[in-house]
Amino acid sequence: MFRDAEALSRTLDAMDFDGAEVIVAAAEGDASLAALRAAQSDVIWVTAPRGRARQMNAGAAVARGDWLLFLHADTCLRPGWRAAVDRADADAAINLGCFRFALDSPSPAARLIEIGVRIRVRLFGLPYGDQALFVRREAFAALRGYSDLPIMEDVDLVGRLRETGRLYVASEQAVTSARRWEEDGWLRRTARHLRLIVRYFAGVHPERLV
């Protein structure tokens, strides 16, 4: 994460981590987290060069669990989320899981986007990082984690993991802040996402997509 201390603070305060090891991976030089780090002494804090893939790899490197759950700063899981990971763990063929995407907005546009995400996951088996991906540690290590990409690092990882195992889609929600859609415009931001994913699968390198 980078300069998103307010969203992270809300997530840390709101979530029940159910005994899980909590690691925050932040960008080097992000001074905005100083007060939060002092207040959250039970959290493991790591830093890495700026870039989501680099930071998530840094967090995974110090984690000790059999499963790694990657949670964006502005996404929160409902109580009982741990049961989804346990269900995935019971099937050795599953190496990747995700939660059901939801937005914290009452807008009808939010409901349409949620439906679109469910269709994408059902038809193409393609969840994004804002669905709180959870990955079996052995599978993650075998693939050497996230590729060092500036964007689409989650799509790349999902694609590689699905070559070696199954995807589990949990019914429990991962609730993401709608702030970016509200700031950019529902249609504009959704259209931007669609353009990016179409260009990526058309072979445009992530460096150019940025």
3-class secondary structure, 152: coil
Q: Answer yes or no: is pLDDT of 3 > 80.
A: no
Q: Report if residue 61 sits inside a domain.
A: yes
β-pairing, 94-103 vs 166-176, is parallel
Smallest Cα–Cα separation from 54: which of 39, 70, 66?
Answer: 70
Whether 8 and 36 have beta carbons less than 8 Å apart is answered as: yes
> Tens of pLDDT along 23-42?
999 888 777 788 888 888 78
Whether residue 111 lies inside any domain: the answer is yes
CATH code for the domain in which residue 152 is found = 3.90.550.10
* Residue 62 banded pLDDT, cuts 50, 70, 90: very high
- For the chain, helix (H) and strand (E) counts, in that order, are 10, 7
Question: Is residue 193 one of the residues assigned to a domain?
Answer: no
**Position 166 in a domain:** yes
Q: What is the tally of structural domains in the chain?
A: 1
